[in-house]
Structures are given as C-alpha cells and as structure tokens.
Amino acid sequence: MKPLARLPLRRRTLMVGSLSGVAGAAVAQAPSTPAEATADGRVPVSLTVNGQAVALQLQPRESLLDVLRERLDLTGAKKGCDHGQCGACTVHLDGRRVASCLTLAVKTDGRTVTTIEGLAAPDGTLHPMQQAFVDHDALQCGYCTPGQVMAAVACVREGHATSEAQIREYMSGNLCRCGAYAAILRAIREAAPRMSAPQGGRHA
C-alpha cells in the first residue's frame, strides 16, 4: 500500500516532520535553572497523567516517553526511533500532540498529559477514533497504532481532517512499517464527524 503522505515529498515537509516527530508537535528544551533540584540533580515535577495527579523526582535529561514507560508503567506510547522521526511515541500535552521522546519530562511540570491509555471513557467505551481504527482494521502489527491514534485525534481537533490530502499531510510524521495507511485514512475520515457529534462530544 502507498503511505498516507502520497503528496509530493518536499524537503521542507520532511524536515518539519523529522524535527517535530508529528506535524505540530512541540520540542521541549532543557530547564535553564532547575531551582528546586535535589543534591543529586533531580527536579520535583508534578503533572496530571490521564486524569491522575503524579509527583516525581526526575533527572533533567529524562524524556517524557521514558518516564511514562519506565516510571508510570504506561507502555502504550512506543519507542520507535527515539529521535522524533517515527511518531510512535505520540501523546498529548495540554491537548496538543507531542513526540514524547523529544519532550523533556521536567518541562511537563504543572501540565496535563494524555496517553493512549487515557483516551477511552472511564466505562471502557472506546474513543471514536479508537473504534474507527478497529472498524476499519487500521493496523497490522499494531506497534505504531497508539501513536497513530493519538496523532489522528489531534489532527481532527486541529481542524486538519477536512480532506484526504490534508490528513495525509498532517499525519505524515507517523510512520507505519506495515503500510496500513489506506485503512488509517479511512478510519480518520469516519471518526472526524463522530468526534464533534453529541455522543462523541466528551472526546472531541
């Protein structure tokens, strides 16, 4: 199958996708002065993850991805490249998608993180995007799927799912080695209107 990004690949597009991990993703910088650092250099960080308050002592260099996976046991976000180039680690930070491998965890102090584990409703009802991925069989090995779903939700929220070309452009930072792009595209097209419908409103 052909990848989502069937649009002509431009150098700029590749550079933006590579640097951001996913289109629109943020790259956090190191804190200039960790004022409250402990003697061994760790920094107290308080954040909300999937609706739960979390307090940690972190080394300034730890990535959000490593903290999620290794300290909080949230292994949905995957470590594909660890360099912002594949999108497998995509999560939401204050509602915006970020490549968590490029996001320093200390920069999430006071902020809100949502991972794939926090996307479904408390009663287990899948988010409309998750359901659409299931309905359209938009995965094969599934390794990229959590990142694809989180990026797809953000793509819709950002208003970048109004056409197939637009979806391809704004999902181009999320790679799928299995080539499930056509089904992913169909899933996003179907989920987009559901996310703004009353029954899907809480997810929008």
For ligand FES, the binding residues (CB under 6 A) are: 21, 79-82, 84-89, 99, 101, 139-145, 176-178, 180
Q: How far apart are the first and last CA of the chain?
A: 30
Q: Toward ligand FES, which CB reaches closer, 121 or 141?
A: 141
CB-based contact 178:140 (threshold 8 Å): yes
State the nearest-atom distance from the C-beta of 19 to ligand FES, in Å.
Answer: 10
CB-based contact 91:77 (threshold 8 Å): yes
Q: Toward ligand FES, which CB reaches closer, 130 or 200?
A: 130
Q: Toward ligand FES, which CB reaches closer, 176 or 188?
A: 176
State the nearest-atom distance from the C-beta of 143 to ligand FES, in Å.
Answer: 5
State the nearest-atom distance from the C-beta of 122 to ligand FES, in Å.
Answer: 27
Q: Toward ligand FES, which CB reaches closer, 191 or 200?
A: 191
Angle between helices 145-157 and 128-135 (to 10 degrees): 130
Tokens of 85: 């180039």
Distances (CA, A) of 132 to 89, 109, 140, 149: 20, 33, 14, 10
